[in-house]
Chain A
Amino acid sequence: DVKVTQSSRYLVKRTGEKVFLECVQDMDHENMFWYRQDPGLGLRLIYFSYDVKMKEKGDIPEGYSVSREKKERFSLILESASTNQTSMYLCASSFEGGTYEQYFGPGTRLTVT
């Protein structure tokens, strides 16, 4: 089975802190994604990566950056956390040129106080 893991299930950070959320997949997928999930808004794409060191902005990239130094690992970085970044963050991965099916991690619920 495809496994996507995220470094933390719950995280509490203070305003202004630098926050790292990490995601690892074990199926050699080319594509990896970071989403933000908020009630009533569904999932919104923050960034995605289609190869090592390659990235592209999604729909809501402001306030976020990403890093992909190895194929299996995709990190989301909040340079200076703000209270409006309190949310559930979901990581996903998929094969390039496959069936477009994305596999999701369990999510990280981030609270910024």
Chain B
Amino acid sequence: AQSVTQPDIHITVSEGASLELRCNYSYGATPYLFWYVQSPGQGLQLLLKYFSGDTLVQGIKGFEAEFKRSQSSFNLRKPSVHWSDAAEYFCAVAPFSGGYNKLIFGAGTRLAVHP
């Protein structure tokens, strides 16, 4: 079945530490890939997206993500986490198909940042 998996439900890091959030998908062809962030009580904000080309994409707020076709993964990284990065992070895919750009979301990873 087609799915998006975020294996880590909760992650806690110290401020200044590096961060990697995992995302795996299972689709026949490479979909379009996204990472969104949701701060408490807010809607979702797009961090970055991958369609084609360079497999390392840069986003806002100092985040980057790397697409690895062989592993069907699109992991999000940040070299030094700030307290304001505490939020919930969602990986999403837009499967390659004709249609209306529906997104399939993972269950999310909640990030806590210790001072």
Contact = CB atoms under 8 A, between A and B. Distances in A.
Interface of A: 4, 9, 31, 33, 40-45, 48, 50, 56, 58, 90, 92, 94, 96, 98-107
A48 B102 CA distance: 8
A43 B90 contact: yes
Most chain A beta-carbon neighbours within 10 Å: one of B41, B43, B90, B103 = B43
Contacts of B105: 42-44
B44 A104 contact: yes
Report the 4 A-B pairs with minimum CB-CB distance, sorted nearest first. Answer: A104-B43, A42-B105, A100-B94, A100-B101
A97 to B, nearest CB: 8
Contact of B100 (A50, A90, A107): A50
B57 to A, nearest CB: 13
Contacts of B49: 99-101
B100 A48 contact: yes
Interface residues of B, number: 24
A11 to B, nearest CB: 14
A99 B51 contact: yes
A33 B99 CA distance: 14
Contacts, number: 62
B46 interface: yes
Given A48-B102, A100-B94, 12 more contacts: A4-B43, A9-B41, A33-B102, A50-B100, A56-B100, A99-B32, A100-B103, A102-B46, A104-B36, A106-B42, A106-B43, A107-B41
Contacts of B44: 43, 90, 92, 104
Interface string B17-45: 00000000000000010101000011111
Nearest to A94: B101
Given A100-B32, A101-B46, A101-B49, A42 B90 contact: yes
B87 interface: no
Contacts of B90: 42-43
A42 B45 CA distance: 15
